[in-house]
Amino acid sequence: MQASPILIRAATWVLSAGPGPTDILIESGRIAAIGRELTPPAGVRVIDARDRLVAPGLVNAHWHSPMQLSAGTSDRMNHKVFMWENQVDTANRSQEEIYLSAVVGCLQMLKSGTTAVIDHFPEQGFGLDDVATVVKAYEDCGMRAVVGLRIFDGEYSDIVPPAERMTPQLRAALATGNTLQPRPLRESLDLVRAAIDKFDRTAGRIRVFPAPSNPVRCSDAMLVACQQMAQELDTGVHCHLLETRTQAELAARAYGRGMVEHMEAIGALSARWSCAHCNWLSPAEIAIMSRHGAVAVLNPESNLKIGSGVPPIPALLAAGVPCAVGTDGASTNDNLILQDAMQLIAILHRAQEPERRRWVTVDDAIAIATTGGAQAMREGELGSLVPGAKADLVLYDLSAPWWIPLNDPAQQLVFGERGGSVDTVIVDGAVVVENGRHTTIDEKAVLNAARAILPGIRRRNAGVHTIAAAIAALE
């Protein structure tokens, strides 16, 4: 979607350049110039930005589009219970269901100021047709995205009870209805490679990465192969990492060392990796992440909702680990409001840190949600409003009550406004939201179609429900 040049005229404030009036000229998907009273080229489209804050689009660096229809279904569930309940809602979906749940999420994100996302897609076995469908959703929505193809060749041993606690009914249900059966290593790698060949760099803004589900569910061979494939094809690698204490314990038992120590030792860690959660990293593992430049993608709302841990944000930042932020899927965090996650990044540790000068700042939180996310996506020219940067930006209406009075736009973005005043959204130089409405998606039709999907999926997955209910009874 390569659009004609755009001149954003007389913005009241540009984050983080300061007060205006400031003009921003966008050409060929990039910011061509920023300054006062720029001379517009012929044929330019002018957007009046008086009473507007212009901010970089936020980057949601960890999300699961398949879970998007499960908002409001999972209060007081821990990691093991939610993981199985979520299988009931996401396994065996049709192409239309895959498409609609991604588009509903894209609409939520774009309309609240998020312009780019890493979608850790899907959990169960998938085919090239499924990848084509979700890529089409991002293409149609005009969003920037990484589709991380979630693979594993080991057991989900972190979410099944140990053998001595397993009931005969649960064992039988797992034998017949387990949607998380590992696929052979070679098959998964061939599929990911084929998907990258076919879909990576679609529309110039949709990437496809290998995305091991979680290193504790993968063989060394798979982890090393993902690193090698990323190197060869110049992609990133996305994964979950040490979300729960159980995962840290499983790694210690299997390898006699921390998961990250093991990944480093086998050559499966580099700056190409972005790792969601990172709640249970040891100090030694934080140092390793820093040394390799691997990105920690923080998901504080998800971690608090399902009680899986607290990300060590000040320690990560102090050690120089690049950080990004994600919402995670709707089962563990029912909203995609990245401003909420930014606020938690800034305040989560304050009660435990008596020295206020060590607290995470608003500027840290904004950098994590913009340039940090860009680093996770391996988009070096994304996340800031400077000449040459990719033109993903958001205009907030400063006449909306959340901004009145305008004291400090950065603080009010993190601690106050929640996306309700998003007026115009530009991704890759194209206007995708105008006056708060998507410019190409028929929102009403999509939302109506998505309303009725979930009961049908649940009926289809009654076998998985038996497992989920048995796990919930044990947990």
Residue ranges binding Zn ion (CB under 5 A): 328
Break the chain down into helix, strand, coil percent, rounded to 5.
45, 20, 35
| Beta carbons of 120 and 179 less than 8 angstroms apart | no
For 345, residues 6+ apart whose C-beta sits below 8 A from its C-beta are: 298, 300, 313, 325, 360, 364, 365, 368, 369
Q: Which residue is nearest to Zn ion (CB)?
A: 328
Tokens standing for 423? 């007026």
Closest separation in Å from C-beta 361 to Zn ion: 26
Angle (CA) 36-37-40 rounded to 5° is 130
The SS3 assignment for 239 reads strand
Tell me if the bond preceding 21 is cis, omega within 30° of 0: yes
Closest separation in Å from C-beta 467 to Zn ion: 20
Q: What are phi and psi of 253, to 5 degrees?
A: -70, -40
When the beta carbons of 119 and 328 are compared against Zn ion, the nearer one is 328
Angle (CA) 330-334-335 rounded to 5° is 105
When the beta carbons of 241 and 286 are compared against Zn ion, the nearer one is 241
When the beta carbons of 82 and 199 are compared against Zn ion, the nearer one is 82
When the beta carbons of 213 and 466 are compared against Zn ion, the nearer one is 213
The C-alpha atoms of residue 2 and residue 455 are separated, in whole angstroms, by 39
When the beta carbons of 247 and 384 are compared against Zn ion, the nearer one is 247
The C-alpha atoms of residue 163 and residue 178 are separated, in whole angstroms, by 16
Specify the DSSP class assigned to residue 164: G
Closest separation in Å from C-beta 64 to Zn ion: 6
Closest separation in Å from C-beta 76 to Zn ion: 19
Tokens 């569910």 belong to residue: 217
Closest separation in Å from C-beta 378 to Zn ion: 19
Q: What are phi and psi of 242, to 5 degrees?
A: 45, 55
Closest separation in Å from C-beta 303 to Zn ion: 10
When the beta carbons of 344 and 470 are compared against Zn ion, the nearer one is 344
When the beta carbons of 308 and 375 are compared against Zn ion, the nearer one is 308
Closest separation in Å from C-beta 329 to Zn ion: 6
Closest separation in Å from C-beta 145 to Zn ion: 15
For 39, residues 6+ apart whose C-beta sits below 8 A from its C-beta are: none
When the beta carbons of 23 and 301 are compared against Zn ion, the nearer one is 301
The C-alpha atoms of residue 183 and residue 180 are separated, in whole angstroms, by 9
When the beta carbons of 47 and 316 are compared against Zn ion, the nearer one is 316
Closest separation in Å from C-beta 18 to Zn ion: 36
Scanning 71-213, the segments in alpha helix (DSSP H) are 79-90, 95-110, 128-141, 168-177, 185-199
